[in-house]
Structure 1
Amino acid sequence: MAYFTSVYTSELSHRARAVYMYLHDRADKDGKCYPAIGTIARELKLSRSTVKRAITDLEQSGRLRKEQRWRENGGKSSNLYYIKQPDS
């Protein structure tokens, strides 16, 4: 738990904390992951809108960076998220 001390003591909303921890749990060793917003919402039992707001909160706080991913046919795919590891 000490690992997340900076997240727990931050001014982040509860939704942002939950989404951050979800993404952190699914990130690889480089801090990258790409779950769909619908998957995050379903597994955390939050609405899609709440997840989107949480992602915006995390981006504004500098704890998360997202990139849009594209399919070969030009369609959108899930976002790629880069997690900034919290200071312990």
Structure 2
Amino acid sequence: MGYFTSLYSSELPHRARAVYMYLSDRSDKEGKCYPAIGTIARELKLSRSTVKRALADLEKSGYLRKEQRWRENGGKSSNMFYLRKSDTS
């Protein structure tokens, strides 16, 4: 079957599936990427709140782990997202 088979058969809401596919498309070979929430929202035509809920859904279900990144001056930067490949675990 296809790459996203376990994602499709999961109980995740459609917002979480869309965000996972977006992140998967932008991740490197290790499943890492760091787009800003505003960028995800704009490109998927979703609200920032919807993206945040989707990310929380993905974290809770184990499809995603996020880590805060910091700038040199101590300010927050975008999160680093680590994806669990949906059909490999």
Corresponding residue of 2:40:
40
Distance across 2 between alignment mates of 1:65 and 1:17: 15
In the TM superposition, structure 1's runs of 4+ consecutive aligned residues that sit over 2 Å from their partners are none
What TM-score, normalized to structure 1?
0.97
Corresponding residue of 2:75:
75
Distance across 1 between alignment mates of 2:61 and 2:8: 14
Gaps of 5+ in 2: none
Identity %: 80
Q: Secondary structure at the match of 1:10?
A: coil
Q: Secondary structure at the match of 1:65?
A: strand
Coordinate RMSD, CA, aligned: 1.0
Gaps of 5+ in 1: none
Alignment coverage as a number of residue pairs = 88
What TM-score, normalized to structure 2?
0.96
Distance across 2 between alignment mates of 1:67 and 1:20: 16
